[in-house]
Structure 1
Amino acid sequence: MIDNWLSKSRLKRKYELFVKKVLYKRISPNQLTLIGLALGLSSALTLFLSSFFKINLLFIILSVSLIVLSFFLDTLDGTLARIEGSTIFGGIMDIFCDRAVEISIILSVVSTKPFILMWPGLFSLAAMILCISAFLIVGAKIDELKKTKSDKVLYYPNGIMERTETFIFLFLTIILMSYRFILLLIFAILTFITALQRIIGAYWFFNKSNTK
């Protein structure tokens, strides 16, 4: 939802101008994606290590800082790709790296208190599998039907949980240690609802297409 709103706001144009001025022809979108992946995985590793040391607050702060930087680079690589001209492989790599970071963070969160957080963690991962499956199948079929060129690798209908909402939940789950159980459950529920939204959206879209 937030991603959709931002894409239509004036901030998008200003952000694109900033990226074009600072990063254009200085670094590639794929390089930004890989740096973001490294930072995201480092955030997950730091969070995992936090449960083994008494100074765990320091590790939490470091983990939060790394995930924020990772997300920031993720927004930069997408914007830079639109300016330079997006590629299919770049889009595939971006999707893969985003999911790798999200999954690693959830696994690291669960590892801090595995007996307490195991079930909400499993629900979260299961919901993510359903959501990404719906995303890929629906997006591929809609693209196949429309046969139109887009900035995105796949077209997909908007949902409750997109990239920004996922980042917000991961951010909160890292810093609010006492609320990790409930936050993971809410994340799982909202992600599952997003999967249903895309399936329902596909139902109406393809039914409408068949009646033409």
Structure 2
Amino acid sequence: MLDAAARRLIDPPLARAAAVLAGLGIGANALTIAGFALGLLGAGALAVQAYGAGLALILANRLMDGLDGAVARRAGATDLGGYLDIVCDFVFYNAVVFGFAAGHPEQAIAAAFLMLSFTGTGTSFLAFAALAAKRNLSTEARGRKSLYYLGGLTEGTETILLFVAICLFPAAFPWLAWGFGALCWATTGARVAAAVRTFKG
């Protein structure tokens, strides 16, 4: 829901940073993998309840995720780059929740519900993108992407805000997990409805 507005704010500085990185010969895929590694370290930090370190590493992951796209748009996006980006993102999202649950086993049910909810948003997003590509549909509503980007209540910006809240207020995790998970299911339902309208017949 907030991604379009966020992109207008962050795209210009990301583009300037991408010009510097491209000049240094740093490719988008290298940034994707490095960011993914930082994200996994962030999940590990949550597992040992090092929330400050976890927050810093999670934000570093998200910065790298923005930079890899900016570098790709400058150098020319590739199918492999788009594939790596989406796989690393979806694994990272679940890794953060798993990391928190590892440090708080008593919150396993809330964490499992949130991860299940991520499955709903992820599969409804990817299935729509696959069929959109088959039909040569495209959109730049969230900027130029490798895949058709179907929005919703819970997009990347909202997920980042969730992770920041989890790190800053770990005691509120159950409320955050159940509440955000419910919003994820609303997003999944809206995407399924969009698919019915777009693909029926």
Q: TM-score if structure 1 supplies the norm length?
A: 0.85
Q: Give distance in 2, aligned partners of 1:88 and 1:75.
A: 17
Question: 2:14–2:66: 8 Å Cα contact kept in structure 1?
Answer: no
- Say whether the 8 Å CA contact 1:124–1:184 is kept in structure 2: yes
Aligned to 2:84: 93
1:171 is matched by which residue type in structure 2?
V
1:41 is matched with 40
Please list every run of 5 or more consecutive structure 2 residues that lacks an aligned counterpart in the other structure. none
Letter in 1 for 2:167: I
Aligned pairs for 1:70-89 within 5 A: 70-89=61-80
- Structure 1 vs Structure 2: percent identity of aligned residues? 26
Deviation at 1:47, TM superposition (A): 1.3
What per-residue deviation string (whole Å, max 9, x for no partner) do you get for residues 122-168 of structure 1? Answer: 11111111211111111111111126698423213211111121111
Partner of residue 109, structure 1: 100
Letter in structure 1 aligned against 2:98 = L
The structure-2 alpha-carbon separation of the partners of 1:118 and 1:5, relative to structure 1 and needing over 3 Å to count, comes to same
Measure the CA separation in 2 of the matches of 1:204 and 1:149: 16
Q: Does 1:159 align with 2:157?
A: no
* Pairing of 1:1-212 with structure 2 (within 5 A): 1-7=1-7, 9=8, 11-20=10-19, 22-26=20-24, 27-50=26-49, 59-115=50-106, 117-146=107-136, 151-207=144-200, 210=201
Contact 2:45/2:51 (<8 A) preserved: yes
For structure 1, the residue ranges without an aligned partner over 5 or more in a row are 51-58
Change (3 A) 1:36 1:145: same
Deviation at 1:62, TM superposition (A): 1.1
Counterpart code for 2:27: S
SS at match of 2:135: helix
Name the aligned partner's letter for residue 62 of structure 1: A
Alpha carbons of structure 1 residues 80 and 70: separation in structure 2 relative to 1, 3 Å: same
CA distance in 1 between counterparts of 2:10 and 2:53 reads 28
Distance 1:175 1:145, change over 3 A: same
Distance 1:121 1:80, change over 3 A: same
How many residue pairs match? The answer is 197
After TM superposition, give the deviation of residue 5 of structure 1 in Å. Answer: 2.0
* Secondary structure of the corresponding residue to residue 48 of structure 2: helix
RMSD: 1.9
Structure 1 residues 145 and 123 mapped into 2: Cα distance closer, same or farther (>3 Å)?
same
Computing the radius of gyration from Cα coordinates, the structure with the larger value is 1
Q: Is the 8 A contact 1:109 1:174 kept in 2?
A: no
Query: Residues 191, 90 of structure 1: CA spacing in aligned structure 2 closer, same or farther, 3 A cutoff?
Result: same
Counterpart CA distance in 2 for 1:10 and 1:71 is 15
Contact 1:16 1:80 (C-alpha < 8 Å) held by counterparts: yes
Contact 1:29-1:78 at 8 Å conserved across structures: yes
Which runs of at least 4 in structure 1 moved beyond 3 Å after TM superposition? Answer: 147-151
